[in-house]
Amino acid sequence: MTNLPLWLDGLLAALVVTGAAFALIGSWGLAKLSDFLKKATTLGVGCVLIASSLWFSVAQGTASLHELLIALFLFMTAPVSAHLLIKAAMKLDPSLRPPAPPSGPGDTRGMKPGT
């Protein structure tokens, strides 16, 4: 058992609780929402990975880079995977595509009636 400073205990607890809250909210949203385009668990997993990296770095006395590399890979690949998921969803269901913006002052395409 490693005795950590109080400030580090607080920081680690805050990261784990924040990560768990984001993971819970993201998984609840994924289960309840009708489409798969809403994805919010990346931040939660990242917070837990950073807390794990800090704890192992202090406990072992050396920098623990495994979790930081996993978090970096996660944050780099999450936008790409979300973009590919959205492109696939729009190809399967073209009604998901937003209306085109107006191209000039007289163009009313994409505007709601009465605006």
Angle CA 20–84–35, to nearest 5: 60
Compute the CA torsion angle 68, 70, 75, 80 (nearest 10 deg).
160
Other Cβ atoms within 10 Å of 65 Cβ, number: 12
Other Cβ atoms within 10 Å of 74 Cβ, number: 15
Whether the pLDDT of residue 113 is over 90: the answer is no
Size (the chain), residues:
115
| Better-predicted residue by pLDDT, 21 or 42 | 21
Domain ranges of the chain: 6-92
Q: What is the pLDDT of residues 51-106, one digit of tens each?
A: 998 888 888 888 888 888 888 888 888 888 878 888 888 888 888 777 777 777 76
Does the reported pTM lie above 0.75?
no
